[in-house]
Amino acid sequence: MPGLSTEALKALVRTVPDFPKSGIQFRDITTLLAHGEGLAASIDLLADRAVTLGASKVAGIEARGFIFGTALALRLGLGFVPLRKAGKLPVEVISEDYALEYGSATLELDPTIIEPGEHVLVVDDLLATGGTAIAGANLLRRAGARVEHAMFVIDLPELAGAQALRDAGVTPHALMEFAGH
């Protein structure tokens, strides 16, 4: 059973006003990561929710999704699939471009590490507009995976990422929500 409640974990997330631009309330998880009991409780709470989803692998989105995704995969006894930024993998990859608030980005995957029909759970630290998670789900699906769920530590509901994921056929799960952007 987790040692800290989600409210206690929420208090460990630092808010940095006006970053990266004026009016944005940046939710900084480094303070949660640096708190041993908080990090452990976060993984325990994610695992308690994930165990019922029936995934056979966990995919984490570079970079902060690697932290939570790898820890969750270890806790569940599952393999980990890294969804990488462009140009980081030394093998043939498949790619998915997606829009960011201030531009665009690309995720890449080695498709040989996905078995056809394998149920993969997408994990990242924060859900904003949903673009990155949807790109990850699309990439995994193109490799032959079933992607039905995505997990996040933080959801920013005002940015409507949860609805965008649902529209893409992915059920979102988050430990905590913060108002604002």
Q: Give the amino acid at 155.
A: D
Among 100, 99, 149, 150, residue whose Cα is nearest residue 124: 150
From the list 14, 37, 101, 115, the catalytic residue is: 101
Helix, strand, coil fractions of the chain, as percent rounded to 5: 35, 30, 30
From the list 49, 64, 75, 146, the catalytic residue is: 64
Distance, CA of 45 to CA of 39 (rounded, Å): 10
Catalytic residue flag (residue 101)? yes
Contact 159, 129 (CB under 8 A): yes
DSSP-assigned letter for residue 3: S
Residues with Cβ within 8 Å of 59's Cβ and at least 6 positions away in sequence, in order, are: 69, 80, 81, 82, 83, 120, 121, 122, 123, 136, 140
Catalytic residue flag (residue 64)? yes
Distance, CA of 85 to CA of 15 (rounded, Å): 26
Catalytic residue annotation: 64, 101
